[in-house]
Amino acid sequence: MEVRNIFGHRFFKNFFKYRYLLLELVKRDIKIKYRRSVLGIFWSFLEPLLFMIVLTIIFSTFFKHNISNYPVYLLTGRLVFEFYSKATSGALRSIKNNANTIKKLYVPKYIFPVSLTLSAMVTFLLSLIVLLLVMLATGAHFTLYILLFFVPAVLLLIFNVGIGLIVGTINVFFRDIEHLYGVFLTMVMYSSAIFFPPEVIPSHYQWILTFNPVYAFISLNRDVFYYGHFFNTSTLLFATFSAIASLVVGMVLFYKYQDKFILYI
């Protein structure tokens, strides 16, 4: 399918037509995630809080670092990575996990990875409440730039949708990616300066941060929540390019191979 058809009027009309189904799938994904959980959706608040407490104790006790207000520094990075990790890991298995529905009914196949990404977005937004509470508890400085939090959030959403479409497509044909992707996420986590300042990485390895889109989104998040200033222009441009590029590649790849999914799922 040609690119102009993918991003044409027909696509948006089809997306609008199935918007209610998309909403129901998002609700279903959230309910499934917290099914049989006593605290339910409150884990969206407790999980990042408990994680922050544990790592703050570990890094404050056993490791020396010169990061002021480490809890806020840690959360601003961890929440972004968790959004990326959960959204793309869910999208990775979305086509395979919904094989029965795809075989029996006609629905746009992209709706499954997109719904999982949106449900991860809901969890991310709820977790930001925890971040704000921690900022209050630790006496962090609030500035008006915090109102720009939606910029990296939207860009990360677009990026996650694109990556989700890419890995979701690849996983239909190559199931080994399910095992390899976990290793990849670990590499991303430790190369995104979530737990430590970026300065500790040797200068000849700084290119890892420069070309790491996840670190770019973390940096933008820290700009408004942790540092309280406007975004770094080059980081914002790189994050925007990464988001758009991943979405375009993801949609083209997904639409090119979606008709073959039925043969492999």
CB atoms inside a 10 Å sphere around CB 121: 20
Q: Which two tokens stand for residue 180?
A: 């390899």
pLDDT at residue 42 in the model: 67
Q: What is the DSSP letter of 231?
A: P
pLDDT at residue 34 in the model: 65
pLDDT at residue 105 in the model: 81
pLDDT at residue 153 in the model: 97
Q: State the 10-residue block means of pLDDT for the chain, 265 residues long.
A: 56 74 84 62 67 72 71 93 96 92 86 94 91 92 95 97 97 91 94 90 90 97 96 97 97 93 85
pLDDT at residue 1 in the model: 47
Distances from the Cα of 5 to the Cα of 50, 188, 192, 252, 259, angstroms: 47, 34, 36, 10, 16
pLDDT at residue 180 in the model: 93
pTM, to two decimals? 0.89
Distances from the Cα of 134 to the Cα of 59, 222, 244, angstroms: 17, 14, 32
Distances from the Cα of 136 to the Cα of 109, 124, 129, 130, angstroms: 43, 19, 11, 10
pLDDT at residue 248 in the model: 96
Three-class DSSP category at 2: coil
Q: Which two tokens stand for residue 10?
A: 């027909």
Q: How many CA atoms lie within 13 A of 128 on its CB side?
A: 18
Q: What is the DSSP letter of 65?
A: -
Count Cβ atoms within 10 A of the Cβ of residue 137 and give its class: 0-12 exposed, 13-18 middle, 19 or more buried: exposed
CB atoms inside a 10 Å sphere around CB 49: 17
